[in-house]
């Protein structure tokens, strides 16, 4: 049996140059599913996306989805794409296995914590010798540059060209902190150890879930539980804001952070994959 793609509408090109197309997945001309592809608004016309792929129940587990994905990659190559990205939900084990089998690399994942019961007294205690304070305006510029460099480095390490990485980082940060430290609903805290900065937590009250935008402990102070303490602070802030869940994004290569979040009860919600189109 031959699995092919049959267009269900002409290729659509938006005003910003983004392209998209949908296809029926067919076996000997019999429709058995559908796939949607496009180019990525964040990165431009050289990066494609598999936006959706479904195979009808009777035809699953027969390799139809794998062949359809490979055929979609070939269409994206013809469009001039040099990289393809896709997202699979944590509750989609077949899609996760297929992405791995086709050579996709997990770049990052979303994780979510359903808040547990608060500790006695309602807030977690800080480790001895530490204290929290709001970040000052004179510290903001250095922190912003540090966040930018770290995020771009993580993206480029996962195969994203630097120019594209810089564009994504700038857009994401501007959405999260459009007014810097004065952004309504955002809190950027500095963790001090014996009066000197030792880490930070950037928390955003988006709605429900709230969001950990950034958390970091200075290298010389790692391995002492300060990162866990900052994550507990984020839980306390979330409860105080009236939300019941807390989300974050983590790069898959940051295995130390992944282990920490998992130990705190965070569970993956979606996995974001990337693959070069050679």
Q: Which sequence spans correspond to the domains of the chain? A: 3-81, 113-271
Q: Is the pLDDT of residue 129 over 90?
A: yes
- pLDDT confidence of residue 90: 96
Residue-wise pLDDT tens digits, 65-114: 999 999 999 999 999 999 999 999 999 999 999 999 999 999 999 999 99
Mean pLDDT (whole number) for 15-38: 95
Q: What is the pLDDT of residue 2?
A: 87
Structure confidence at residue 1 (pLDDT): 66
Q: What is the pLDDT of residues 147-156, one digit of tens each?
A: 999 999 999 9
Residue 157 pLDDT class (50, 70, 90 cuts): very high
Tally Cβ neighbours within 10 Å of residue 265.
14
The answer to whether 239 and 230 have CB atoms below 8 angstroms apart is no
% of the chain with per-residue pLDDT over 70: 100
Q: How far is it, in rounded angstroms, from Cα 147 to Cα 173?
A: 9
Confidence of residue 207 (pLDDT cuts 50, 70, 90): confident
pLDDT at 159: 86
Tell me, yes or no, if the two domains 3-81 and 113-271 fold the same way.
Answer: yes
Q: Which pair of structure tokens corresponds to residue 143?
A: 């922190």
**Which overall architecture, per CATH, does domain 113-271 show?**
3-Layer(aba) Sandwich (3.40)
pLDDT of residue 42: 87
Confidence of residue 206 (pLDDT cuts 50, 70, 90): confident
**Whether the Cβ atoms of residue 250 and residue 257 lie closer than 8 Å to each other:** yes
* 89, two tokens: 């939900």
Inform me whether the pLDDT recorded for 228 exceeds 80: yes
**For residues 36-55, average pLDDT:** 95
Structure tokens at 254: 């940051």
Given 3.10.20.600, 3.40.630.30, 3.30.70.940, 3.40.50.1980, which CATH number is that of 3-81?
3.40.630.30
Residue range 223-241: mean pLDDT, rounded: 97
pTM of the model as a whole: 0.93
What is the 3-state composition of the chain as percent helix, strand, coil, each rounded to the nearest 5? Answer: 35, 35, 30
Asked whether the predicted pLDDT for residue 138 surpasses 80, the reply is yes
């Amino acid at each position: 049996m031959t699995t092919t793609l049959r267009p269900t509408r002409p290729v659509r090109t938006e005003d910003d140059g983004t392209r998209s197309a949908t296809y029926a997945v067919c076996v000997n001309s019999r429709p058995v599913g559908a796939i949607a592809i496009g180019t990525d608004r964040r990165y431009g016309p050289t990066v494609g996306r598999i936006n959706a792929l479904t195979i009808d129940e009777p035809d699953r587990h027969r390799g139809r989805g794998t062949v359809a994905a490979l055929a979609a990659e070939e269409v994206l190559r013809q469009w001039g794409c040099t990289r393809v990205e896709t997202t699979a939900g944590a509750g989609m084990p077949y899609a996760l296995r297929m992405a791995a089998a086709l050579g996709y690399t997990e770049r990052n994942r979303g994780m979510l914590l359903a808040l547990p019961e608060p500790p006695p007294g309602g807030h977690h205690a800080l480790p001895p010798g530490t204290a929290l304070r709001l970040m000052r305006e004179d510290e903001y510029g250095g922190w912003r540059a540090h966040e930018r460099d770290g995020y771009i480095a993580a993206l480029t390490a996962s195969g994203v060209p630097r120019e594209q990485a810089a564009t994504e980082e700038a857009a994401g940060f501007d959405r999260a902190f459009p007014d810097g430290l004065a952004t309504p609903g955002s809190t950027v805290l500095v963790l001090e150890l014996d009066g000197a900065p030792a880490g930070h937590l950037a928390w955003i009250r988006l709605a429900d879930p709230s969001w950990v935008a950034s958390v970091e402990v200075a290298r010389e102070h790692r391995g002492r539980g300060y990162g866990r303490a900052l994550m507990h602070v984020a839980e306390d802030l979330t409860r105080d804001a009236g939300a019941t869940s807390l989300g974050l994004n983590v790069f898959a290569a940051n295995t130390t952070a992944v282990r920490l979040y998992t130990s705190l009860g965070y569970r993956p919600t979606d996995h974001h994959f990337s693959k070069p189109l050679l």
